Structures are given as C-alpha cells and as structure tokens.
Amino acid sequence: MNLRDYLVKAGLRYPEHEVLVHREVRYTTRTLVERIFRVSHALMNLGLQKGDRVAVLLRNCAT
C-alpha cells in the first residue's frame, strides 16, 4: 500500500471525521482527500507524469 491507498481507504471508511483543524478551519477526511486529488489532477493536467518530482513550499497552516 502507498499513501494514496491509505487516504482513499480513510476517506471511504471515515468520511465525516475531522482530520485537520486550524483555528476556525476544519477539514473532514472526505474534504481533505478531495482537495488532495484535485491538486494531483491539476498537476497531471499540466503534464506531470508518474515518477516526476515536485517540490512544495507552503506556510504551516490549513488555508
């Protein structure tokens, strides 16, 4: 199993559990999985392929 498999499994098994809370922002497992897949599909639409590497620099917050 890889990280994707665990996320999908958690999203199906516990869709309404809160998994990320930052101040007033709260994400359920379903919402977080949907956002992750939205970003991954956007990257694939830009031409990234399996095996490509991506670096991400973000602030340490949920928004």
Q: Which residues pair with 20 in a beta bridge?
A: 27
The DSSP line for 24-57 is TEEEEHHHHHHHHHHHHHHHHHTT--TT------
Indicate the pLDDT class of residue 41, thresholds 50, 70 and 90.
Answer: very high
Integer Cα distance of 16 and 35 in angstroms? 15
Predicted confidence (pLDDT) at residue 2 exceeds the cutoff of 90 = no
The token pair that represents 24 in the structure block: 């007033």
Predicted confidence (pLDDT) at residue 22 exceeds the cutoff of 90 = no
Any idea where the domains of the chain sit in the sequence?
A: 1-63
Q: Which residues pair with 26 in a beta bridge?
A: 21
